[in-house]
Amino acid sequence: MLSGRKSFINEFLFRWFVSSLGLFIAAGILGGSVNFQSSFTVIVIAGLILASLNTIIKPVVILLSLPILIFSFGLFMIVINGLMVLLASKLYDELQVTNFFAAMLAGMVIGMVNYLVVTVVDKN
């Protein structure tokens, strides 16, 4: 039982790291559309909030939007990822996302960073 909890904690810490890294890269790519005020602390806290949202709320949103996801061949996930980024920015004022389109782009960047990091980690 302890190893299951340790695994969950490790997975959550990994999500937190990837979310923070993805937000940092998205802010660099998108310029002023995603702003963390050049503060490492803001990126870390925003990454924690985003990882928490992705762990708790995102599965429920996916389940509720399953018909749209099937109909759109999964492309609606871009909208869901954008909603999670936008919600994180609403919950934490120091992370500023200008609009929903910027949030969707940031969600796509975070998704790509997640894919790349998981690919590199799984190869080792």
* pLDDT, tens digit, 9 for 90 and up, residues 74-119: 999 999 999 999 999 999 999 999 999 999 999 999 999 999 998 8
Above 60 in pLDDT, residue 1?
A: no
In a domain? residue 114: no
**Domain containing 104: what range?**
14-109
In a domain? residue 100: yes
In a domain? residue 26: yes
In a domain? residue 96: yes
In a domain? residue 81: yes
Mean pLDDT, residues 25-35 taken together:
91
Q: If you average pLDDT over every residue of the chain, what do you get?
A: 92
Query: What percent of the chain lies above the pLDDT cut of 90?
Result: 82
Above 70 in pLDDT, residue 58?
A: yes
Cβ contacts of 79-87, under 8 Å, gap ≥ 24: 79/104, 80/107, 81/107, 81/108, 81/110, 81/111, 82/106, 82/107, 84/50, 84/53, 84/54, 84/57, 84/58, 85/50, 85/110, 87/53, 87/57
Q: Report how many domains make up the chain.
A: 1
In a domain? residue 4: no
User: What pLDDT does 122 receive?
Assistant: 82
Query: What percent of the chain lies above the pLDDT cut of 70?
Result: 95
In a domain? residue 7: no
Residue 61 tokens, joined: 């949103």
Taking the C-alpha atoms of residue 14 and residue 107, their distance in angstroms, rounded to an integer, is 17
In a domain? residue 122: no
**Cα 44 to the chain's mean position, in Å?**
12
